[in-house]
């Protein structure tokens, strides 16, 4: 369910720095990234997010470590095992949980876009807001 409503959030808050702050870099948010990085609202981005090279490199690294193969077949079983094993729990770092949860967030964003589509979201939210 994480990220499933991100498209709705973007409709309600259409500021270009939102996808940059949430690290949602895909074909649908690429224009927002360029507007946020090179536009007048750049000052609203966090320090590391202001640099496109650092942001893209960080996102690619996260994708390489936490993706559709590594999360279900390595990270999730390992983190579940760490809840039962003191030794494994000693190896776990907060970044591992965060990376696995971030993968689930991005997956929810993608699934939400497939389910609702951007044009469907704007129509449904405009009708909801006018009620």
pLDDT tens, position by position, 48-65: 899 999 999 999 999 999
Q: CA–CA separation, 9 vs 41, rounded Å? A: 19
> Residue 124 above 60 pLDDT?
no
CA distances in angstroms from 71 to 4, 48, 80, listed in the order given = 18, 25, 12
Confidence of residue 121 (pLDDT cuts 50, 70, 90): very low
Q: How many residues does the chain have?
A: 131
Closest-CA residue to 21 (of 2, 31, 35, 36): 36
d(CA 35, CA 55): 14
Look over the chain and give the mean of its residue pLDDT values, rounded to a whole number.
Answer: 87
For 7, the token pair is 């498209």
- Domains in the chain: boundaries: 6-124
Instruction: Quick: pLDDT tens for 62-74.
Output: 999 999 999 999 9
Lowest mean pLDDT among 39-43, 74-78, 85-89, 109-113: 109-113
């Amino acid at each position: 369910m994480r990220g499933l409503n991100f498209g709705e959030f973007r409709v309600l808050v259409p500021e270009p720095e939102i996808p940059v702050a949430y690290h949602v870099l895909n074909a649908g948010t690429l224009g927002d990234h360029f507007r946020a990085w090179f536009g007048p609202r750049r000052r609203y981005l966090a320090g590391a997010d202001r640099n496109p090279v650092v942001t893209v490199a960080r996102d690619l690294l996260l994708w390489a470590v936490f993706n559709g193969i590594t999360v279900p077949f390595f990270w999730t079983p390992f983190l579940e095992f760490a809840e039962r094993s003191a030794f494994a729990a000693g190896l776990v770092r907060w970044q591992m949980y965060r990376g696995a949860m971030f993968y689930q967030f991005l997956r929810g964003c993608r699934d939400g876009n497939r389910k609702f589509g951007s044009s469907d979201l704007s129509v449904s939210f405009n009708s909801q807001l006018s009620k």
